[in-house]
Amino acid sequence: MFHGSITALITPFTETGVDEDAFRAFVAWQIAEGSHGLVPCGTTGESPTLSHAEHHRVIDLCIEVARSAEREVPVIAGTGSNSTAEAVSLTRYAAEAGADAVLVVTPYYNKPTQEGLYHHFRAVHDAAEIPVIIYNIPGRSVVDMSVDTMKRLAELPRIRGVKDATADLARPLQTRLEIGEGFCQLSGEDATATAFLAQGGHGCISVTANAAPALCAQMQDAWRHGDLPTMQALRDRLAPLHRALFLESSPAPVKHACALLGRAPETVRLPLSQITPATRAAVRQAMVHAGLING
């Protein structure tokens, strides 16, 4: 089962494409800092603006670096789309490339019914021999997969879990009681990641971990080891950063945070834009509070 701090990786860009050297170095740094897993081509990686060739290449690069690392780290490739055919195609590619699982977002804009959601994910499931993690994020996709639909999908052998970005802390408990402890539950909300663990979660697919991989991993490890004082101290240390990284549309703020560390350029692709001076100041202040940069 996937667990701990799993980084929803940013995609570094040059003016003409993906900055492959920066991405390789960034993935290697994430592994060295203790991240428990990696998600290339999620929405934090600006997947809606990647060409199919870029999407494939970013998955390949992440797997390449992860497989050459001294420590085994799973790669959960983002392969979601509001087009079922496109999600199927990307999922097949990730499976052939050697990813450990795929993360598939609920179709955005289309607003499918619960029956439509079931058949979308069933099609992805049936397309390739690879575990599927459902990404439920009503705030961006405008649809919320019900626990009943998720339970129905969980009867399929390769539907293994959920990234829950509902911010509803009753949801992981309800899901665990309905589907069982073996269904992997990963938070998609950094600000409530520790509360999610207490409600039956297993980890977090984290935006903040891009800028604070060691702290996020240590916080998750502290929970697993029953060290609540350390977990609480790290939670409080990271709290202002969680807030600052979502003052404007992600991943623009976290890309700025990574640029402050010298880890990646902060370029984002339209329709996203550079963050305002006020948000820059808030991100810097939060980074100082977390001890990631000097004041």
Domains annotated for the chain, with CATH where assigned, are: 4-228 (3.20.20.70)
Which of these is catalytic: 93, 118, 135, 255? 135
CA proximity to 161, closest of 185, 181, 145, 144: 185
Chain mean pLDDT for the chain: 97
Give the whole-angstrom CA distance, residue 295 versus residue 277.
17
Enumerate residues 6+ apart whose C-beta is below 8 A from 195.
169
- Residue 163 designated active-site: yes
Span of 19-23, 70-74, 229-233, 239-243 with lowest mean pLDDT: 70-74
- Residue 109 designated active-site: no
pLDDT at 295 over 90: no
| Structure confidence at residue 1 (pLDDT) | 84
| Structure confidence at residue 135 (pLDDT) | 98
List, in sequence order, the alpha helices (H) in 142-209: 147-154, 171-179, 193-198
Which of these is catalytic: 93, 118, 163, 255? 163
Enumerate residues 6+ apart whose C-beta is below 8 A from 89.
52
What is the edge-to-edge ordering of all strands in the sheet holding 37-39?
37-39, 4-8, 203-206, 184-187, 159-164, 132-136, 101-105, 76-78
